[in-house]
Amino acid sequence: MSSTSTNTADILFDVRRVTRRFGGLVAVDEVNVSVARGECVSVIGPNGAGKSTLFNLLTGIDTPDAGEVRFGGEDVTGMAPELLAARGIARTFQHGRVFGNLSVLDNVLIGAHARLATTRRGWPVVGAFAEVVRALVGSAAMRREDAELREEVTALLARFGTRLTPRIDEPAHSLSYANRRRVEIARALALRPRILLLDEPTAGMNESETAEMLELILGLKREGLTILLIEHKLDLVMRLSDRVLVLDDGRKIAQGLPDEVRNDPAVIEAYLGHRQVGAQAGRSETAAA
Amino acid sequence: MTAWFDYTINGLIVGNIYALLAVGLALIFGVSHLINFAHGSVYMVGGFIGWLCLTRLGLPLPVALLATVVGCALLGIVIERIGLRPLQGAARIAPLLATIGISFVLDQLAQIVFGPDPRPVPSPLPQWTLSIGGAALGSLDLLIAAIGVGAAAVLYVFLRFTRLGWAVRATAQDRDAAQQMGVNVNAVNQAVFAIACGLGGLSGLLVGMYYNSIDPAMGFQATLKGVVALLVGGLGNVPGAIAGSLLLGLVESYGVALFGTSYRDLFAFVLLLAFLVWRPNGLFSSNRRLPPEPLTGTFLSNRRAVRIPRRVIVAVVALAFALPFATPSSYVVQTLTNGWIYGLLALSLTLVAGTVGQISLGHAALLLIGAYASALLSVNLGWPPALTIPLAGLITAAIGTLLVYPSFRLRGHYVSIATLGIGEIIGLVVLNWDSLTRGPVGITGIPPLTLFGWQLTGARSVYWFTLAVLVLLALLQVRLLRSHLGRTWRAIREDDVAARAYGIRPNRYKAIAFACGGLAAGIGGGIAAHLYSYINYQTFDSQVSILALTMVILGGLGSVIGAVAGAIALISLPELFRFAADYRMLIYGVILLLLVRFRPQGLFGAV
Amino acid sequence: MNSAMNTPSLHLVSSNELPFTSPAMTEPLLKLDQIDTFYGQIQVHFGVNLSIGRGEIVSLLGGNASGKSTAMKVILGLHKPRAGTVSFDGKPLNGLPTSQIVRRGIASVPEARRLFGDMTVRENLLMGAFTRKDRAGIAEDYERMLELFPRVKERLTQRAGTLSGGEQQMLAMARALMSGPALVCMDEPTMGLSPLYVDKVLELVQTINRQGITFFMVEQNASLALQIAHRGYVLQTGRVVLSGTASELLGDQRIRDAYLGGALAAETAS
């Protein structure tokens, strides 16, 4: 099990022995994950392996019962999602959760919420009051920030060719499923993330849409974006990932380069079953090679 | 010491009656995940059916009891079939609103048929008394206890041993799995409604006999008490509902003993809020995490807002200003002024419920706070309305937001229940805090509107003033909606999980929304106080809250124009056309039902 | 009783009493014909064809997001297909509500069991017989269930939610059999079970199948499913990409690709 040697200074996401139990069931059992800057790491595993639970633990939706999550050197275990967003963690959701009644533009603008001066928190009550005043009256600085943001978002949407730009003012619910998922990615990019967490980005997509998404993610990778990804389409995983992590029954059963993992007997067994494929035990018919 | 035993017994007896209500609510919630806000109306109908049987038809008590149960069971079936079955695919909030509409219809029908005055209900029972440890139990007490225990036993047997009972339990636990066992869940729903409403009606008759009074308005409070008991016991938990009811009965009984009768209801709602904040899953659940309620944030169907060209809007506003010149009748002008005031309330609610998705059922309380604030400041301190009205707005914003803040962690049904409870508490506090608010007497002699020394005499000047304030606040709200705040609010409404993932703190923005809404409503209340010159705790009550919601849905949740249009449509138009004044609430109920069923996006669509 | 086909009631019959007829000879018991299914705009099934013969054990295999669970929902009437027909015993099921479909002789062992957790084991079993009116028959089958599933018998008065995963799976199967069905649909029956219970489940399926009950199993664990199945289908992103007898499928390397990636077209050899 070789992996690119990573210097601790480069490790962006460091998850140590994270555990989550639901009653008697251990959904995530002492899992370690580390993602270095610029890496693309995939998490795979059969149904019920604990991938979604792990993701929820990393994105603040759920809190681990044990273990530690460190991001950029800071302990972020159990932090709320809003706080993680402010630290540069952007995520997409399985099946895509866009704001249906908001326009494409508004959806993506929301992505930048955590980093704008306009929405800065300030003091407890006074800060909120100030934000209302800013919304009503605004200042030159605010208007400039808004204009810059809109330019940035327009450029972002242009990455998707003609898919999103002509529909920039349409409500997100009127878009096709694939376009909605693209909006989600655009929204994540508007956050200017240090790491992008993708939850099954191609779920429900057909072959050509999947291929397009693959190209997009490869492009992001080339630009140096750090990515952590859950995916089921294993050929995609092989092409995208620098490293692959395999979970089964809440535990990590393999980790390493895509090709290593693909041929790892433990992985094959986890996916296909506990007896060897091709060999027979007991009652059935002829064995085959 | 015996006094306390007395209170305990009394509390248990009343708790018994609540239990008949709450158990029905729990059964309904269990199988269909719906809080039946029409339950109190059924309870009221039960009281009247029983009264009819006992007085007009001269039937013996057992027959009257039976007739009540059967009659209300049938009513329950009708409610399920007509009001709720058609809404099966819709967002969860739709049935809640539909049941509210149904309650309006039933309440007003009863009022039309029987008149609003309370009437006594005879208790044709032999005069027995039983002494237990110094407390005296009359035959009615015993009857209620017997019915309570008997109903619980029958229900237990039904649920444990009959086929239909099993079907009910299975459906409540896992609807899909029950279907896969061959259970016809629609039939189960109907049966549950029939049973629940039958019990509710019986409860109404017993209450009528116990307090020797029934009236068409008794339903609403009953619904609220039932909901409190339901929540305390854990939504959908039938034995829990019984425990919750007994607890509620005891709390009320002791509360009344300690503080006086007018505090009775206050205790119920304080109990409600305490549970919502600390134990939203009810007494019997050990887990303090919030129950997983399906997101009801988007009641809005995915439809476009109707875009009105700016020219048209400007023209209509100009017309509105010009109107007093066109009509000599000051009556018309006054009615429209009242409409503008409600327009301010509607603005407030459309922001909170429409844009941010928090369906508040207690919004009239904000008008009340504003009215009292302005009235007290001008009457007690002699400050001019030009000062007290804006201050009232600020005070309402502050108090309203503060009170509602603990409920921000809740979602869906719980938000509505919480806001309903908070609204009721505010009304009750206003009623009971004599030293501040003059209690039930209300505030008289509120000075008329003056603007920097200029008395606004005449209907016209008041009209223009109010319209100007409305237009100003509407413009400000539009500005906010178009800003980053608007899209942030809408993001929270659409999907608060995704919103949080992008750095939006829901509590902060919900608070801002309630504060802005509180400002508008508070100002509206302040103007109303000076306009009406007399206010009391009933000037803006829960009916107004529901009316406000109907206005806002009619206009289109989230739409500023829609809010004003809805207010005019439901406040001024009926008045102007002398439109069946006695039937007003009935019509509102029907409108709400029709809207929810056929056009949930209202006139101007969702924004 | 449930269907006009005279389902044998669940007697314990010795294995040489019922000759096994080749399923290819007879009219299929359940047939899915050109099924297209959508969730909103997302298409989940593309012209899916399946047929299950009487007395067979047929497995539907596939990785995540292949559409297998939706296939189960379509059969049981929990999700309506946009095109295509589902027929049972020659008669179409399209448009019928689940409660009616189940009365025709199809029973369901749902994914993750979906027992009635607050009801006792006994009550769950009897709920399985909800569609039946013949008390004597129900009582008889109840006794048979207790014989076949001794673990269930030990826990009759316990709340179903307190049973272990494997015990729950046993109970779910028994509950399904209580309706006296001709076809039992099982959704991922081995998921989350210890190897001991996996063996038990598979053994029970075979035992009951020998008495004439047809089984349709959606299963992620291909090798397990194919051990006991007569035939299987493999779904990949909503299309049937492989089908055949269990031995044919077990020997086929392409099954591995279907699970572990690699586009599988009919012509592509691995």
Condensed to tens digits (0 to 9), the pLDDT of residues B29-42 reads 999 888 899 999 99
- A179 and A201 part of one domain: no
Query: A276–C41: do the CB atoms touch at under 8 Å?
Result: no
Tens digit of each residue's pLDDT (9 = 90 or more) over A237-289: 889 999 999 998 889 999 999 988 888 888 877 776 544 333 333 333 333 33
- B271 and B345 part of one domain: no
Q: Which residue of B has its CA nearest to A91?
A: B501
Query: B181–C130: do the CB atoms touch at under 8 Å?
Result: yes
- B248 and B365 part of one domain: no
Model-wide pTM > 0.90: no
pLDDT of A108: 96
Q: Is residue A239 part of a domain?
A: yes
pLDDT of A285: 32
Tens digit of each residue's pLDDT (9 = 90 or more) over B310-342: 899 999 999 999 988 888 788 888 889 999 999
Its sign, for the CA torsion A161, A166, A171, A174, is: negative
Chains that touch A (3 or more CB pairs under 8 A): B, C
Show the tokens assigned to C117.
């957790």
Percent with pLDDT over 70 in chain B:
95
The alpha-carbon gap from A191 to the nearest alpha carbon of chain B, in Å, equals 8
pLDDT, greater one: C259 or B321: B321
Q: Is residue A260 part of a domain?
A: yes
C259 band by pLDDT with thresholds 50, 70 and 90? low
pLDDT of A112: 95
Q: Which residue of C has its CA nearest to B184?
A: C99
Q: Point out the residue among B300, B302, B476 whose CB comes nearest to the CB of A136.
A: B476
Query: B487–A102: do the CB atoms touch at under 8 Å?
Result: yes
Q: Point out the residue among B169, B170, B176 whose CB comes nearest to the CB of C78.
A: B176
Tens digit of each residue's pLDDT (9 = 90 or more) over B204-235: 999 999 989 999 989 988 998 999 999 898 88
Best residue in A202, A234, A251, A272 to probe C by mutation, most C CBs within 10 Å? A272
Quote the domain boundaries for residue B473: 310-319+332-598
Query: B491–A110: do the CB atoms touch at under 8 Å?
Result: yes
Q: What is the mean pLDDT of residues B504-521?
A: 95
Q: Which of A190, A223, A248 is the endpoint of a domain?
A: A190
Q: What is the mean pLDDT of residues C154-160?
A: 88
Which amino acid does the sequence have at B87? L
pLDDT of C4: 36
User: Do the bridges between strand A66-71 and strand A89-91 make them parallel or antiparallel, or are there none, so unpaired?
Assistant: unpaired
- B258 and B349 part of one domain: no
- Mean pLDDT, chain A, rounded, equals 85
Window from A74-83, B507-516, C37-46, C129-138 with minimum mean pLDDT: C37-46
pLDDT of B295: 39
Residue B1 has pLDDT above 50, yes or no: yes
- B274 and B336 part of one domain: no
Q: Is residue A93 part of a domain?
A: no
- B274 and B374 part of one domain: no
- State phi, psi for C51 to the nearest 5 degrees: -140, 145
Residue C269 has pLDDT above 50, yes or no: no
Q: Point out the residue among C220, C246, C255 whose CB comes nearest to the CB of A277.
A: C255
Best residue in B163, B164, B180 to probe C by mutation, most C CBs within 10 Å? B180
Residue C270 has pLDDT above 60, yes or no: no
| Residues of B whose CB is below 8 A from C115 | 177
Residue B576 has pLDDT above 60, yes or no: yes
- B455 and B499 part of one domain: yes
Other residues' Cβ atoms within 10 Å of the Cβ of residue A206: 15
CATH of the domain at B424: 1.10.3470
C8 band by pLDDT with thresholds 50, 70 and 90? very low
Q: Is residue B75 part of a domain?
A: yes
Q: How far apart are CA B58 and CA B333, in angstroms?
A: 52
Tens digit of each residue's pLDDT (9 = 90 or more) over B434-478: 889 898 899 998 888 887 767 777 788 889 999 999 999 999 999
- Mean pLDDT, chain B, rounded, equals 88
When divided into structural domains, chain A yields a total of: 2
- B341 and B268 part of one domain: no
Query: C99–B169: do the CB atoms touch at under 8 Å?
Result: no
- B199 and B344 part of one domain: no
Q: Is residue B64 part of a domain?
A: yes
Best residue in B175, B181, B285 to probe C by mutation, most C CBs within 10 Å? B181
- B371 and B489 part of one domain: yes
**Chain A interface residues (partner C, CB cutoff 8 A):** 46-48, 176-177, 200, 203-204, 206-207, 232-238, 262, 268, 271-278, 280-289
Residue A1 has pLDDT above 70, yes or no: no
B162 touches chain C (CB under 8 A): no
Q: Is residue B169 part of a domain?
A: yes
- State phi, psi for B593 to the nearest 5 degrees: -60, -45
Q: How far apart are CA B593 and CA B604, in angstroms?
A: 18
Q: Which residue of C has its CA nearest to A250?
A: C192
Q: Which residue of C has its CA nearest to A267?
A: C260
User: Do the bridges between strand A40-44 and strand A226-230 make them parallel or antiparallel, or are there none, so unpaired?
Assistant: parallel
| Residues of A whose CB is below 8 A from B484 | 109, 116, 118-119, 135, 146
Q: Is residue A94 part of a domain?
A: no
C266 band by pLDDT with thresholds 50, 70 and 90? very low
B484 touches chain A (CB under 8 A): yes
Residue B200 has pLDDT above 90, yes or no: yes
Q: Is residue B173 part of a domain?
A: yes
| Residues of B whose CB is below 8 A from A119 | 484, 488, 503
Residue B292 has pLDDT above 70, yes or no: no
Residue B588 has pLDDT above 70, yes or no: yes
Q: What is the mean pLDDT of residues C12-30?
A: 52
Residue A8 has pLDDT above 70, yes or no: no
| Residues of C whose CB is below 8 A from B169 | 116, 118-119
Tell me what ipTM this predicted complex has. Answer: 0.89
Fold of C26-105+181-190+213-264: Rossmann fold (3.40.50)
Provide the 3-class DSSP secondary structure of residue A31: strand
Contacts of C197 (CB under 8 A, 6+ apart): C165, C166, C169, C170
Tens digit of each residue's pLDDT (9 = 90 or more) over C209-234: 999 999 999 987 787 888 899 999 99
The alpha-carbon gap from B433 to the nearest alpha carbon of chain A, in Å, equals 28
pLDDT, greater one: B3 or C51: C51
Query: A136–B483: do the CB atoms touch at under 8 Å?
Result: yes
Q: Is residue B218 part of a domain?
A: yes
Residue A206 has pLDDT above 90, yes or no: no
B167 touches chain C (CB under 8 A): yes
Which stretches does DSSP call E strand in C40-154? 42-53, 57-61, 83-88, 91-92, 106-109
- A4 and A82 part of one domain: yes
| Residues of C whose CB is below 8 A from A274 | 195, 198, 221, 223-224
- Segments making up each domain of chain C, as ranges: 26-105+181-190+213-264
Which stretches does DSSP call E strand in C157-267? 183-187, 214-219, 231-236, 239-245
Q: How far apart are CA A41 and CA A257, in angstroms?
A: 10
Residue B554 has pLDDT above 80, yes or no: yes
* DSSP per-residue codes, chain A: -------GGGEEEEEEEEEEEETTEEEEEEEEEEEETT-EEEEE-STTSSHHHHHHHHTTSS--SEEEEEETTEE-TT--HHHHHHTTEEE--TT----TTSBHHHHHHHHTGGG-STT---SHHHHHHHHHHHHHT--HHHHHHHHHHHHHHHHHHHTTTTTTGGGTTSBGGGS-HHHHHHHHHHHHHHT--SEEEEESTTTT--HHHHHHHHHHHHHHHHTT-EEEEE-S-HHHHHHH-SEEEEEETTEEEEEE-HHHHHH-HHHHHHHH-SS-TT---TT------
Q: Point out the residue among A232, A277, A282 whose CB comes nearest to the CB of C64.
A: A232
B567 band by pLDDT with thresholds 50, 70 and 90? very high
Query: A287–C188: do the CB atoms touch at under 8 Å?
Result: no
Chains that touch C (3 or more CB pairs under 8 A): A, B
Q: Which residue of C has its CA nearest to A277?
A: C223
pLDDT, greater one: B245 or B305: B245
Residue B94 has pLDDT above 70, yes or no: yes
Q: What is the mean pLDDT of residues C98-115?
A: 91
CATH of the domain at A263: 3.40.50.300
Q: Is residue B499 part of a domain?
A: yes
When divided into structural domains, chain B yields a total of: 2
Tens digit of each residue's pLDDT (9 = 90 or more) over B354-366: 899 899 999 999 9
Q: Is residue B305 part of a domain?
A: no
Q: Which of A155, A173, A190 is the endpoint of a domain?
A: A190
- A81 and A124 part of one domain: no
Residue A5 has pLDDT above 80, yes or no: no
Q: Which of A190, A207, A234 is the endpoint of a domain?
A: A190
Tens digit of each residue's pLDDT (9 = 90 or more) over B29-85: 999 888 899 999 999 999 999 999 999 888 899 999 999 999 999 999 999 998 888
Q: What is the mean pLDDT of residues B528-532?
A: 93
Question: What are the CA-CA distances from residue B93 to residues A37, B87, B142, B514, C120 (Å)?
Answer: 46, 10, 40, 20, 34
Tens digit of each residue's pLDDT (9 = 90 or more) over B395-442: 999 999 999 998 888 877 788 888 999 999 999 899 888 889 898 899
- Mean pLDDT, chain C, rounded, equals 82
Nearest to B155 by CA among B202, B210, B219: B202
B370 band by pLDDT with thresholds 50, 70 and 90? very high
Percent with pLDDT over 90 in chain C:
47
Q: Point out the residue among B298, B485, B491 whose CB comes nearest to the CB of A132.
A: B485
Other residues' Cβ atoms within 10 Å of the Cβ of residue B52: 16
| Residues of B whose CB is below 8 A from A113 | 488, 502-504
pLDDT of B479: 95
- What residues does C52 pair with on adjacent strands? C30
Quote the domain boundaries for residue A156: 99-190
